[in-house]
Structure 1
Amino acid sequence: MTENPFTLFDHWFAEARANELNDSNAMALATVDAEGQPSLRMVLLKGHGPEGFIFYTNQQSRKARELTVNPHAALLFHWKSLRRQIRIEGHITPVDPAIADAYFATRSRDSQLGAWASDQSRPLDRRETFEARFDEMQARFAGQDVPRPPHWSGYRVTPERIEFWQDREHRLHERRLFTRTDDGWDEGLLYP
C-alpha cells in the first residue's frame, strides 16, 4: 500500500521545525518566464495540506508575473541538519481571497505596511525611497487595521510529484518518489 505523501511531509516538517535553527519553512521556488528562462528564490511556506503548499507574495513581483504566463512551479525544502530534502513539482493556482485576508491579518503590522510600501522586484533608486514610502504607509494607516493590498495574495502549488530525499553513507541516498494518479498516488524509488 502506498504511503500518503502528505503524512510523510507532515512528519518530516515537524522534525525540521524541532531541529532547524532558522526558517524551517523556507523553500526554494523555481519558476519559468515566457521565454523559458528559469528563476529561483527562497520563499516561506505558510500553509500546506492535501490541497497543496501555500506561499504569499506581491502579485506584481517577478515570480507572480512568471506564474501568470506559466502556472507551474517547483519547490525545494532542504534541511541540512537533518540531511533531508523534499522536491515538489506542480500546478499553481491563486488562493481564495478570504484565505489571503486571514493570513495577512496574522502578519506583524510592519510587515503589513511593508507590503503596501514595496514595489517588489522593481528597480529602487535608493533605500531612503523605500523607507519614505514605509513612513507614508504608517501615516496612512495610523490608528486603524492595515487591510491586505489588492496586489498582494497567495499561491498554492498543487503537487503532481513529490520526492523525499534522505542522505545515506557513501552517497547511497534514499529517494522516494510519489506521482499523482487519477486514484491517488503511486510510490516508487529512484537511484541516487
Structure 2
Amino acid sequence: MDKWSGLPDLLSSFEYWSAVQTALADEGHLESAAPLYGHPYLDNGRLIIPRGPGMAEDSDGYTDYSIVEEPTLFSVRLSGRSRGAQIPETANAWFGTFDDVAKYFTARRVAAPTRSRVQPDRVESINTRWLDRSLAPGWDQVDEPDPGGFSPATRYFRSDQPERFYFTVNTDSATSFVLNLSWRELNSTFSEGLSGIERIPMPKFSDD
C-alpha cells in the first residue's frame, strides 16, 4: 500500500476548510483572517503545511507544522517562536499510517480551530463528545514509551489492524473516535452548525 495513502483526501479537506473559513470571514463570523493554512506540499518525505493569513506571525510568535515520514511511522512536528524565544522542532504525535495522521491533523489543527474562532456566538466543541468515553469500538491501549522515548506513555491501536496505532503527548482516547470516521463523516461532523455551510460543496473522498 502507498505509504502516503490518504494524501488526496487531506488536500481535499484543506481546500474544503479553506472555503469554509473564507466564507465565515467574509460574513464576519471568524475571529481571524482566512484561510488558516496554505496548500500543503511534499518535500523529501516531509509534508509541509504553510501558515495562511489566519495563522500569521504575531506579537506572541507563530507555530509551523509538518508531517514527517519515518521508517515505521509518521510524526507530527512543530516548531516556531513564542514570546521571542525560538521553539526547536519537536514531535508531539506519532501514527502508524498516513491516513490516520491526516485525519488527526485535519480534525485537531484545521477543523477544531475553525470552530473555536467562530463569532459572535460560539459553536459546540466536537471533541467534547468523546471525552470520558474510554476508546472507540475496535481500539485498545497498552502502556509503552512513545517513539521519542518518553515514559509513561500510551500506545493506542486497532485490535484488528495492528499497523494502525498512535501516540500523543497527552492521554488521548478521543482521537480513536476521529480515526473511526470516514473522511466525509469527519468533515461533515466538524462542520455541523457553521453558518452558511450548506452553500459549500463537500468534495468527493476516496472512501465514499
TM-score band by shorter chain is under 0.3
| Structure possessing the higher relative contact order (Cα contacts under 8 Å, 6 or more residues apart) | 1
For normalisation by structure 2, the TM-score amounts to 0.26
Higher strand share: 1
For normalisation by structure 1, the TM-score amounts to 0.28
